[in-house]
Chain A
Amino acid sequence: MSWQSSVATIRVLVRRALNEITRVPGAAIPGVLAPAIFFLGLTSVFGSLTLLPGFTTHSYQSFLIPVSLLQGAAFTGAATGVNLARDIEQGWFDRLLASPASRPVLLAGLVLSASLRSLLPATFLLIVGLAVGVHWPGLGGLLIALFLVMGMAVVAATWGTSLAFRFKTQSAAPLMQVGMFLAVLLTTAYAPLHLLTGWLQTVARINPVTQVVEAARQGFVGSVTWGDTWPGLLALFGLAALFTMLALRGMRRMTL
């Protein structure tokens, strides 16, 4: 298959996935609303944590919004896995596998659509956040946060698709969602690392998603620096590479 055909195939797969937003809007609404509800709820509940000595900002909204952005991306990416499981159950994906498109091209179509779709909850959340007083991160901070959001959607989508290839059923949906939900929350989601207690401090320190959260957060709570950005990018690329390999292996096993 030529590279022009590969690009055309990816474009068609992306368009098919994006069509779901307009054709089944009800399916997209929970993924957009849930992170916003969690953001507004958690900031109202835990807003006083900024009064703790050593807390890095006085605005809990600014501290929490990157977590909600990444949560939105994670749910969107996991939904790609659920949709793929549905396509496998209904036999549609078998027809794709019988086409001359290569396996990485098929995966790229799925993953890129998730990446683009993640901008929908992110945009909604940013509007809500800025309306309730989130600190403007600057253009650089915003672009970095959005890039990380799209990258997180890629990670979640490859995680979801690898599970879809493994279980081949929509019943695996909770596993796809809970896995990502925990990956984002087992970080410095609620408080800076030194204010976390017990086991969570240890887990957050070794969880690579913590670096992604911190990189996305920097513009909202302070200034953007390369030193705070590259660990997040490295963690994201590492996770994406790992889950892409697992997804491709799962796809190959499907055809054995």
Chain B
Amino acid sequence: MIETLAANARVVAALGRRSVMQTLRRPQLAAPLIIFPTALLAIQTAGAGRAVSLPGFPPVANFLSFMLAGAMVQSLLMTGNSGAIAFAIDMEMGFTDRLYATPISRASVVLGRLAATAMLGAMIAVYFISLGLIFGAKIHEGVPAVLWIIFLTSASALAFGSIVAALALRTNSASVVQGIFPLIFVVLFVSDAFFPANLMLEPASWVAHYNPLSFIVNGIRQPIIDGWSLETQLKALAAILGFGILGFTLCAAAMRGRVRRGL
């Protein structure tokens, strides 16, 4: 039993390492995670930076401090999407078929991909926090906040990634997975990733108040701009758990479907 678990853990680690290296080596996979969110962060911070003086805007050191969490979550969603695209390409090219022919569990193949997504999530947090600090953002709660944010981003990437991985497993098609890219922005725009929900226009403001993505954004943002609140962090953890349970359930169903279809 323990030997089997150890063997599967080694497979997950090896596949995870391969996936991380694949993302870092291919600019078309790495660019959407870094370049696009960084460009949008820079433009929105300078373009809408005076919004911090609006009545009702939460007290922040600067707009960049406020925007960091939104940029991280945007990048995490793209990481999940990008990982699932690479996974679908692996399936299209027959790489996963060769893995299924070896004596390892099918779940390990999926978990390997998701482990990489979680790892990339942590790297994204480190990147954006470093970028923020260089350009004048303040982390209100210091080092403990940084460690907590790395944990939240890593867990969120795993949860988001599992949902898109389920789509890749179900459809076997990279172009279908790529097609949900605009949906990422729809979900982001109706959360308070880029602006406080109370200052957004209706109906986006109403949706943002109940959007679980807002809970995750606020969980990451609060220790940066304000301080700790147990309620906010519990909401963030609950939202991540909810996305994760949904994603893993869908993955399990998709894998059962593949076995039934003889894939």
Contacts and interface: CB of A to CB of B under 8 A. Distances in A.
A171 B54 contact: no
Contacts of B45: 197
A41 B185 contact: yes
B163 to A, nearest CB: 20
A21 interface: no
Interface string B45-58: 11111110111000
Contacts of B195: 45-46, 48
A47 interface: yes
A195 B50 contact: yes
Contact of A44 (B54, B179, B200): B200
Contacts of A40: 189
B39, B42, B46, B204, most chain A CB atoms within 10 A = B46
Interface stretch (A91-99, A116-124, A185-193): A185-193
A197 to B, nearest CB: 4
A143 interface: no
A34 B182 CA distance: 7
B51 A196 contact: no
B51 A48 contact: yes
A186 B194 CA distance: 18
A44 B190 contact: yes
A152 B21 CA distance: 39
Given A40-B189, A52-B54, A174 B28 contact: yes
Contacts of A178: 35-36, 39
Contact of B185 (A37, A186, A200): A37
Nearest to A190: B47
Given A171-B28, A185-B43, A199-B46, A46 B182 contact: no
The A interface is mostly helix, strand or loop, or mixed, namely helix
A30 interface: yes
Interface residues of B, number: 33
B153 to A, nearest CB: 21
B200 A48 contact: yes
Interface residues of A, number: 35
Given A41-B189, A44-B189, A51-B54, A190 B44 contact: yes
Contacts of A51: 54-55
B50 A197 contact: yes
B43 A41 contact: no
A1 to B, nearest CB: 40
B61 interface: no
A127 to B, nearest CB: 18
A189 B47 contact: yes
A200 B189 contact: no
Contacts of B46: 196-201
B185 A48 contact: no
Contacts of A60: 201
A187 to B, nearest CB: 9
B185 A45 contact: no
Interface of A: 30, 33-34, 37-38, 40-49, 51-52, 60, 171, 174, 178, 181-182, 185-186, 189-191, 195-201
Interface of B: 27-28, 31, 35-36, 39, 42-51, 53-55, 179, 182, 185-186, 188-190, 194-195, 199-201, 204-205
Give the top 5 A-B pairs by smallest Cβ distance, nearest first: A41-B189, A190-B47, A200-B46, A44-B204, A197-B49
